[in-house]
Structure 1
Amino acid sequence: MLRSIHDSLEPKLVTLFRRQGYSRSDFIADAVAGLAVAIVALPLAMAIAIASNLPPERGLFTAIVAGFLISAHGGSRYQIGGPTAAFIVTVAMVAMKHGYEGLVLATIMAGAILIIMAFLRAGELIKFIPYPVIVGFTSGIALLIAFSQIRDFFGLKITTVPPDFIDKLSIYVAHLHETNFTAVLLALISIGVIYIAKHRFPRIPGPIIVVTLSAFAVWGFNLPVETIESRFGSIPSMLPSPVWPEITFERLRFLLPDAITIATLAAIESLLSAVVADGMTGTRHKSNAELLGQGVANIASGIFGGLPATGAIARTATNIKAGARTPVAGMMHAIWLFLFMLLLAPLIIKVPLAALAAILMVVAWNMSEIKHIKEIMHSPRTDRIVLIVTFLLTVLVDLNFAIQAGIALASILFIDQMMKATQIRPITSEENDPDSTSNKTIPHGVEVYEIQGPLFFGVAEKLVDTLMLFEKPPQVFILRMRYVPLIDAAGLHSLEILHERLSHYNTRLILSGVNAQVYQFIRSSRIDEKIGRENIVDHIDKAIFRAGEIMGKKI
């Protein structure tokens, strides 16, 4: 048991080094791939921090510290970690409600929750989140990200942007007359450059072209647009010293809901990214080790003045396409970013905010799941309902609530489908299977009904209501359960109630075709003692024979 837990939590880096070693050519390939990813990550890290209403260096600190640790301790061979656009809304709201120090503590708490999830081996449970829920909240986040960039995209002079969608809409409308058309033109050109680079020069990251050319354009033509320097001043060229936030029971209790939101989002996003990487490379990630790495990284990110971190799908894909071989590529990407910050800090601050807004607009479009939304809209009605409800709750209410409500709604609709799929019906002469009762001699006064599907709380009441179908209660009621794969507490209780009500009419209950697992639960709950163990059989022939015995005794 302990060995199994150890194996599931062992970092992928350690597993690979132990099994196949590490050569000089591997390091060169990883270093080159890491450089390519760092070039993509540099503008994104700053843009995500700014979109979260925080200084750009917070994004860089996160990409360096968390990016290194996620690769070193995680369970994916190619995962690249750091700040992601999916966190923008949550981070902005937590920072606004509790201040940056509150965000740091929530991030550290989220890291601890992720580590607990890893030791509880919860990595496999993430796959049970319904697909429409994932698409719904991902597309909702994409809309919120795009909406959060309108201020810088249009160059609006708004000091503080509220986190709520409706409040944002109101303040944007109120300031729309302040539109800076130079900023709009710069942002539109930036989107065009990214699009052209992607299709004409796929090996050159579009975002780095945008930040470079836009910075030179602002400097060379003295364009009247805001830059990182004009809003935030200079940025540090070194990592800050680690600092623990003030921890009290009251603050922990107050921040717990936000920490759970961050941990949930980090777990889902990182494991989705790992799955995407597996699909691109044919490898397999270790989900629990990935959660452990995410937990360690988020704790360290908070201590070093960063933001919540998770796996980044676009950067992970870039890492794979750049020829990465091991998690060292992700560690090298963090080292390259540190060198960029150390050497290029005076140049980085010249980047215009409109260009960063354009980059995030493209990120939001790529996150929007338009293709998958179209697919789900052609799926069953229940999936469409879950998608739409999750999307609307994400945009208008809260991400955490949206996930909870989406899962709850999907579960309820699934139960409803299972209830409709599970049939409790009399046996008809139309059946043609070898054990059909149409080929059996059923004594007069015996009714045979069959359950097809699991006997759980959703259909338990339906079973009891079967008695209402009889004009005159039979002397023996045979309930065939050959197609009942499982039973829960409500199902067991319904059998007990069915037996009691039949006994009231002097009707004997016989259970036929009970499989071993279902019978074990019936025995554990001692219902077999009430029904009579001789009245629980594994085949319809035995049930009919037993009914004959009962009828004979009554005669």
Structure 2
Amino acid sequence: MLQTLKQNWFSNVRGDVLSGLVVALALIPEAIAFSIIAGVDPRVGLYASFCIAVVIAFVGGRPGMISAATGAMALLMVTLVREHGLQYLLAATLLCGLLQIGVGYLRLGSLMRFVSRSVVTGFVNALAILIFMAQLPELTDVTWHVYAMTAAGLGIIYLFPHVPKLGKVIPSPLVCILSMTAVAMYFGLDIRTVADMGDLPDTLPVFLWPEVPLTFETLAIIFPYSAALAVVGLLESLMTATIVDDLTDTGSDKNRECKGQGVSNIVSGLFGGMAGCAMIGQSVINVKSGGRTRLSTLIAGVVLLLMVVFLSDWVGQIPMAALVAVMIMV
């Protein structure tokens, strides 16, 4: 028992803490952006990312994988939010979680072993293209400072690991974010920052029950969305788990991951967050920054909340160019 606890949580403390910091910084603008896509307040995405990351660290089946609010899930919510509002989205999130738990108990996650290597490769390449394309708006119609900072950030990410001693201790994406933020603040550069993405929350999330009537009419409204969210969320999560398995040369429990995704989405819905799933981009950042155990996922979630609530003035000054460089690295 103690040996398993140490292996899953404390076998790589330094690497997990540092990688968790990197992931938390990179999660903030994405959570805000996905909230905007879904048509909800940025706090909904940020609270979701915190709740899902923290819960999945304990109940997920793939140590070191990052789960939070995602773009794929946000796109499925647009119509529901527009036609029925936030409360129905929270109810759909709860039902989505219940459906995912059911999938886990039916052991349907085991079917992932029948997915061919070519399908996984295609999935990874397609996501790589989408992640890169998603960065282009931050590099369009901007000043030369943005291009210079992005190029400098990429240089730091790829060259810093070769620095004697320090290169193997501190994740280069973290060095990129901190150094580019310092440069932007020192020279007072007029470039797009995290604060320009939307308002950051100033309070901790609180428990709330969706204010919707408990009727079959409500169920008829939310069920199609919940089912779609459950299927898409599990497909992306299980694909990402397979990729992290390959990157770390370790195995994972896919059925436990299905249940874990369900539990985390239920908690998210009860604390005012939207549904989410595993994120391949953030998971790769975590692994490449040295994250290996559940501690890295927990650190990412906790630090995310602490930063946006208590250090929002500082976090808001992070230049988007630095985060673009990190995402291009993915």
TM-score, scaled to structure 2? 0.77
Residue 531 of structure 1 corresponds to none
| Match 2:237 to one of 258, 267, 270 | 270
Residue 192 of structure 1 corresponds to 151
Q: What is the Cα deviation at residue 346 of structure 1? A: 1.8
Deviates more, 1:344-353 or 1:274-283: 274-283
SS in 2 for 1:275: helix
Amino acid at match of 1:309: G
| Match 1:223 to one of 189, 195, 201 | 189
| Match 2:32 to one of 44, 47, 50 | 50
**Aligned ranges 1:138-537 → 2 under 5 Å:** 146-147=132-133, 149-154=135-140, 179=141, 181-182=142-143, 185-202=144-161, 204-205=170-171, 207-230=173-196, 232-236=198-202, 238-248=203-213, 249-317=216-284, 319-320=286-287, 326-353=293-320, 355-356=322-323, 359-360=326-327, 362=328, 366=330
Residue 478 of structure 1 corresponds to none
Question: Matched residues in 2 for 1:98 and 1:213: separation?
Answer: 44
Question: Matched residues in 2 for 1:97 and 1:302: separation?
Answer: 19
Deviations 1:199-220 (A, max 9, x none): 2124554554454344444444
Q: What is the Cα deviation at residue 289 of structure 1? A: 0.8
Q: What is the Cα deviation at residue 349 of structure 1? A: 1.5
Answer with 1 or 2: which has the greater Rg: 1
Instruction: Answer yes or no: is the 8 Å Cα contact 1:152–1:354 preserved in 2.
Output: yes
CA gap of 1:103–1:352, structure 2 versus 1, over 3 A, is farther
SS in 1 for 2:63: coil
CA gap of 1:315–1:234, structure 2 versus 1, over 3 A, is closer
Amino acid at match of 2:231: T
Q: What is the Cα deviation at residue 298 of structure 1? A: 1.1
CA gap of 1:319–1:150, structure 2 versus 1, over 3 A, is closer
Question: Matched residues in 2 for 1:352 and 1:99: separation?
Answer: 32
CA gap of 1:348–1:100, structure 2 versus 1, over 3 A, is farther
CA gap of 1:216–1:279, structure 2 versus 1, over 3 A, is closer
Instruction: Answer yes or no: is the 8 Å Cα contact 1:114–1:292 preserved in 2.
Output: yes
Question: Matched residues in 2 for 1:152 and 1:323: separation?
Answer: 27
Instruction: Answer yes or no: is the 8 Å Cα contact 1:51–1:88 preserved in 2.
Output: no
Deviations 1:58-77 (A, max 9, x none): 44423322112112112223
Question: Matched residues in 2 for 1:280 and 1:135: separation?
Answer: 13
Question: Matched residues in 2 for 1:75 and 1:29: separation?
Answer: 17
CA gap of 1:134–1:325, structure 2 versus 1, over 3 A, is closer
Question: Matched residues in 1 for 2:309 and 2:298: separation?
Answer: 17
CA gap of 1:125–1:190, structure 2 versus 1, over 3 A, is farther
| 1:121 and 2:94 correspond | no
Residue 398 of structure 1 corresponds to none
Question: Matched residues in 2 for 1:26 and 1:285: separation?
Answer: 12
Q: What is the Cα deviation at residue 139 of structure 1? A: 5.3
Amino acid at match of 2:105: F
Structure of greater relative contact order (alpha carbons < 8 Å, 6+ residues apart): 2
Instruction: Answer yes or no: is the 8 Å Cα contact 1:71–1:328 preserved in 2.
Output: yes
Question: Matched residues in 1 for 2:225 and 2:119: separation?
Answer: 19
Residue 164 of structure 2 corresponds to none
Q: What is the Cα deviation at residue 340 of structure 1? A: 3.3
CA gap of 1:317–1:353, structure 2 versus 1, over 3 A, is closer
Q: What is the Cα deviation at residue 292 of structure 1? A: 0.3
Q: What is the Cα deviation at residue 40 of structure 1? A: 2.0
CA gap of 1:88–1:32, structure 2 versus 1, over 3 A, is farther
SS in 1 for 2:311: helix
| Match 2:23 to one of 41, 53, 64 | 41
Residue 7 of structure 1 corresponds to none
Question: Matched residues in 2 for 1:277 and 1:147: separation?
Answer: 22
CA gap of 1:137–1:287, structure 2 versus 1, over 3 A, is closer
Amino acid at match of 1:104: L
CA gap of 1:316–1:142, structure 2 versus 1, over 3 A, is closer
Instruction: Answer yes or no: is the 8 Å Cα contact 1:117–1:123 preserved in 2.
Output: yes
Q: What is the Cα deviation at residue 190 of structure 1? A: 4.2
Amino acid at match of 1:284: G
Q: What is the Cα deviation at residue 259 of structure 1? A: 2.3
Q: What is the Cα deviation at residue 301 of structure 1? A: 1.5
Q: What is the Cα deviation at residue 198 of structure 1? A: 3.2
Residue 165 of structure 2 corresponds to none
The runs of 5 or more residues in structure 2 that have no matched partner are: 162-167
SS in 2 for 1:201: helix
| 1:107 and 2:93 correspond | yes
Q: What is the Cα deviation at residue 225 of structure 1? A: 3.6
Amino acid at match of 1:81: S
Instruction: Answer yes or no: is the 8 Å Cα contact 1:113–1:260 preserved in 2.
Output: yes
Instruction: Answer yes or no: is the 8 Å Cα contact 1:46–1:58 preserved in 2.
Output: no
TM-score, scaled to structure 1? 0.49
Instruction: Answer yes or no: is the 8 Å Cα contact 1:233–1:349 preserved in 2.
Output: no
How much identity, in percent, do the aligned residues show? Answer: 27
Instruction: Answer yes or no: is the 8 Å Cα contact 1:49–1:59 preserved in 2.
Output: yes
Aligned-pair Cα RMSD in Å: 3.6
CA gap of 1:215–1:73, structure 2 versus 1, over 3 A, is same
CA gap of 1:325–1:219, structure 2 versus 1, over 3 A, is closer
Amino acid at match of 1:67: A
Question: Matched residues in 1 for 2:97 and 2:237: separation?
Answer: 13
Instruction: Answer yes or no: is the 8 Å Cα contact 1:118–1:289 preserved in 2.
Output: yes
Q: What is the Cα deviation at residue 311 of structure 1? A: 2.5
Question: Matched residues in 2 for 1:356 and 1:321: separation?
Answer: 15
